[in-house]
Amino acid sequence: MSELISTKGLTKRFGGLVAVDGVELRIEEGQVAGVMGPNGSGKTTLFNLLSGLFRPSEGQILFQGKDITHLAPHKRVEMGMARTFQLVSVFDSLTAWENLVLSTIRFRKGQQTVANLYFAPAQKRTILNSCLEALEMVGLTEQAENPTSELSYGEKRMLEIGIALSLRPRLLLLDEPLAGLSDHEISEVLNLIDRVKKNFTLVIIEHKISKIMDLVETLTVINLGRIICQGDPGQVLCEPSVRECYWGKETDTCSM
């Protein structure tokens, strides 16, 4: 496999606080990678750096062999990077369908406009078909015309993932996709991820590690902004340093 995204000495400071500290990360094309660590360890800040929401204080980010360290977030999306957020990020004032159409138009190659959508039949068919496929994929076809404000939290999570999938990314970053979901909703999200993971490279931040152990091929643990361990998930969870920082000194278990 070839390298898709990597970081070199990636660091982010907020005043005197070092949130991400010299991170060296390497993700291969087609890989499914997990990221875990205690609250406040720097996981989401790392995603914010990778996706361009934050500018690093030091270091470099390479995507598809190109330096994107100072590239704007929307340019990274155009290159093939998409992400979801820890707190669901969708437009409650729009319908589920409109959320998908808006994002698909915005990032379709050539910067399509709403006018293009309605006056260019070929473009209209392509975009609308893409949105229909995404809605069907996440099980929201029957909710297409419903206001997003009326969807359950789990349905909003599926919609957000559907929006990301509609962009057909090469790299998808999922920030705690299972947070706040019921057991049934967790099962639906995991089934969705398992079905589509072959289509792109996937990096998942998740606290419920036991839920994604069958999905991820490699696991990276971050503590106090630094990577303290990475590799095979089973071996990583057995590392004393990982058990100490994540579950405390008293634990003697090697699995979740």
**DSSP state for residue 218 in the 8-state scheme:** E
CA 228 to each of CA 53, 61, 181, 210, 256: distance values in angstroms, whole numbers, following the listed order: 24, 20, 29, 20, 19
Is residue 174 within 8 A of residue 203, CB to CB? The reply is yes
Global pTM value:
0.87
In this model, does residue 121 exceed pLDDT 50? no
Directed axis angle between helix 153-166 and helix 121-137, to 10°?
A: 140
Rounded to the nearest 5 percent, the helix, strand and coil shares of the chain are 40, 25, 35
Q: What is the pLDDT of residues 8-32, one digit of tens each?
A: 999 999 999 999 999 999 999 999 9
Share of the chain above pLDDT 70, in %: 88
Which bin fits 12, alpha (ψ -120 to 50), beta or left (φ > 0)? beta
Q: Please name the residues in contact with 243: beta carbons below 8 A apart, sequence gap of 6 or more.
A: 237, 251, 253, 254
**Predicted local distance difference test score (pLDDT) of residue 63:** 97
29-50 pLDDT tens trace: 999 999 999 889 999 999 999 9
112 has a pLDDT exceeding 60: no
What confidence tier does 208 reach under pLDDT thresholds 50, 70, 90?
Answer: confident
- Residue spans of the domains in the chain: they are 20-80+169-256, 91-167
Q: Structurally, what CATH architecture does the domain formed by 20-80+169-256 represent?
A: 3-Layer(aba) Sandwich (3.40)
In the predicted structure, residue 253 carries a pLDDT above the cut 70:
no
Q: Per-residue pLDDT averaged across 196-212, rounded?
A: 91
The DSSP bridge partners found for residue 36 are 221
